[in-house]
Amino acid sequence: MRLLFLLVLFPFTSFAQYNKAFVYKNDLYYSRLEYCGEGLFGFESNGKFGYMDANQKIIIPATLDLKLTSGEPIPAFKNGLAAVRSNGKYGVIDSKGKLVVPYDYNSITLYSKSKNVALVTKKENNKTFYGLLSTQNKVLIPVEYDDLSVDSNLVTVSQNYKYGLMDITGKKILPLEYKLVNTFSKSAAVKFEKDNKVGFTDSKGNLLFEKPKSVFNLYACFEGMILCGVNGKYGFLDMKGNEVIVTKYEYADNFLSNGLARVRLSNADTRYKSLYGYINKKGDVVIPIKYEYIGIFDGAVTIAQDPETNRYGFLDKTNKWVVKPIYLGRGDGFDENGCAWLKATDDQYHYINKAGKDFGSLDSLGKNTCRFIDGYAVQANTNYPYVLIDQNGKTIKILDDIDGIYNFSEKMAGYKSKNGLYGFIDINGNKIGKAEYNGFSSFSEGLSRVSKTINGKSKQGYANNKSELVIPFQFEDAGTFADGWALVTKDSVKYFIDKKGALNPLPRKYDVVNWFNDGYALGTIKNTNGLNTYYYINNELNEAFNITAQRAFSVWEGTFVAENEKVFSLYNSKGEKIKALDGISNLKFAKSGKLAAKKEKKWGYIDLNGNQAIPFQYDSCDSYVGDYAKVQLEGKWGIIDKNGKTIVQPEYKNIVPTESGYFIFLNNTWGIMDKTGKILCNEKFLTLTSIFENRALARIGKSYTILKSPANK
């Protein structure tokens, strides 16, 4: 009898096709794929992690056992290094995968600007301590501080709620006696709080000025200008503490490298609307404070909303439109490639550079944007279509209106339509007839048992390979055809029917009847003494022979098994005993001349004469399919051949030999290999049927696309 398996179902969702101008590589099948900086992409395969470049060249093989939690990113590279975890502890690897800092720490932080240092933590008695290492694993600052932060060559440390300052080598600059210390290495300045005063020193600890904290709030220092607040208004001090721009703004940003700072004031007409503009270091208004939105300058250009039209364009620092305000919406501002996402009048977001060049929308829907890092972005495909594939995993045809797939049998497979009903598909992916059945079985001898709900009751009949009903819906129960017969129940009476639907009575009334297999059906009469009588019914519907046993089973490949007093015995198809199978505690029935058998808690195989064919050495095994069978060791599955030789080592969650001689295998998703163990198709399918005549039905799993900014040449 052929077994029918329903594969896992996932919801079907529509998706947008990416604009080719943005696509660098697509259809990359990994459990995870993320951009990790410096041209490297972290990927997960078989539960472990590695790194590759944009062309899928493996830089670090998938050998890292990172044990990432849900939502935790794959570690990124900075200056050729990445902080990674193993067995709950962190270390540092270089871009070749070499461990340069051992797995000794509870956390490690690497920096882009501070190239040669790593902030590390250790826990002792439930308390976390911070320190600083060189990336050559030399201790620069001992792991003994309550907190620590790194800003280029300046390091703020704290202990017992007091703050101090060191340089990156561990040399002390300010003692541990301050209420607060913040560094601004780019301006060579340090903000401090102490004794109800706030002030700044230079990067060597020399005092620049102090102010009373009761009056002044000092914030950040950029471009030689210190943002400050007095009485809820904002302005700026110079590096000597002089108030060079009076505190009159509702808010102000720090100065940019172009010498401008964005400021905010309320509209005189309504206190609920804030307007923005830009001032220079003298306090002169360079760009009028009239814009409801104006972004941060990227060089000489920013995004602004025109007060007259409420549309967006690009404004330069002389308050001139370099790209006219014709756009209806905006993204997050300019990216590293000098481009921004703006919504055009077609209601799609377009990728626009500073000169106004339009690279188009990211995809056909135009609703999505992405943020490029080093010119790259990674997007996951959320569409998982059902497909017809060949033995190499190549898609032959995309199948629509399908919500479930089933194995091919006799060049026909079943499918579940999105309307919840079932239909048939041929080996070329063509739907045969309509999806109109409530259930079905695999095809056997040209017919499939189909069911339909009629007047609130399920009735069963038979359809041919044209999906035509050839035996009407009239049975409460029906089995598949074998040896020209099917077992059915009509009006609570069991019959054998032929392919014309003619009802034939059983030789007698049985307590249990099994359908035909290998020339015999099996009828059982249960006895009160624990010994049952088993009748083997031949193709002429006559009882050919019977045996008395505690248990007996159907005929497979001319043999069957019966059990008495916990001893299995092997019989031929005439009912003659071949051999008692001493020591055998469990069996799986014969295929390809072998029975899977269990002896002394291990599985192996015996032949049809009851002799050991393959040693009892496996934790589990399954029946042969052709010349191959799957076996299990330590929870993982592999493949052996007819002589017991290992073809595929047991290292998969599941692996299934097929009648076509190919193996389909599973870890997180399904893939395909040939009978030598060579992988033909990496794991990429959420569901996959057995391969039949070089065809299979599958559902494509999650894939990734590497996008590249078209402005990054």
pLDDT for position 13: 33
Tens digits of per-residue pLDDT, 542-558? 999 999 999 999 999 99
pLDDT tens for each residue of 197-222: 999 999 999 999 999 999 999 999 99
pLDDT at residue 311 greater than cutoff 80: yes
pLDDT of 368 higher than 70:
yes
Tokens 């063509």, residue located: 430
Residue 423 in contact with residue 417, Cβ under 8 Å? yes
In percent, the amount of the chain with pLDDT more than 90 equals 90
- pLDDT tens-place string over residues 629-655: 999 999 999 999 999 999 999 999 999
Count of CA atoms in the C-beta half-sphere (13 A) of 132 = 24
Q: How confident is the model at residue 337 (pLDDT cuts 50, 70, 90)?
A: very high
The Cα 129–Cα 133 span in angstroms is 13
CA nearest to 116, candidates 148, 80, 142: 80
All residues at 6 or more sequence positions from 198 whose CB lies less than 8 Å from its CB, including other chains:
191, 192, 210, 211, 213, 216, 217, 218
Instruction: Tell me the two tokens of residue 510.
Output: 């049985």
For residue 9, pLDDT beyond 60? no
pLDDT level of residue 705 (50, 70, 90 thresholds): very high
pLDDT for res 702: 85
Whether 465 shows a pLDDT value over 90: the answer reads yes
- Tell me: the pLDDT tens digits for 110-138? 999 888 999 999 999 999 999 999 999 99
Tens of pLDDT, residues 470-511:
999 999 999 999 999 999 999 999 999 999 999 999 999 999
pLDDT above 80 for 12: no
**Per-residue pLDDT at 135:** 94
- For residue 547, the model assigns a pLDDT of 97
- Between CA 288 and CA 290 the distance in angstroms is 6
Answer whether residue 514 shows pLDDT above 90: yes
Per-residue confidence band for 668, with pLDDT thresholds at 50, 70 and 90: confident
Q: Give residue 495's identity as a one-letter amino acid code.
A: Y
Q: Which residues are paired to 520 by β-bridges?
A: 517
What pLDDT score does 4 carry? 28
Q: What is the pLDDT of residue 270?
A: 58
Dihedral angle computed from the Cα positions of residues 71, 74, 76 and 80, in that order, rounded to the nearest 10 degrees: 170
CA distance linking residue 121 with residue 133, whole number of Å: 10
φ, ψ of residue 175 in degrees (nearest 5): -70, 165
pLDDT at residue 3 greater than cutoff 60: no
Tell me the β-bridge partners of 399: 386
Q: What is the pLDDT, as a whole number, of residue 271?
A: 64
Looking at 515-558, list the stretches that DSSP marks H as alpha helix, in order from N- to C-terminal side. Answer: none
Token pair for 183: 């560094």
Q: Mean pLDDT, the chain, as a whole number?
A: 94
- DSSP SS3 for 268: coil
d(CA 488, CA 358): 68
Q: pLDDT per residue over 671-681, tens digit each?
A: 999 999 999 99
Lowest mean pLDDT among 105-109, 379-383, 634-638: 379-383
| Three-state secondary-structure class, residue 55 | coil
| Rounded Cα gap, residues 513 and 511, in angstroms | 7
Q: Model confidence at 10, in pLDDT bands (50, 70, 90)? A: very low
Identify the pLDDT of residue 529: 86
Beta bridge partners of 214: none
The predicted model scores a pTM of: 0.74
Which amino acid appears at position 57 of this protein?
K
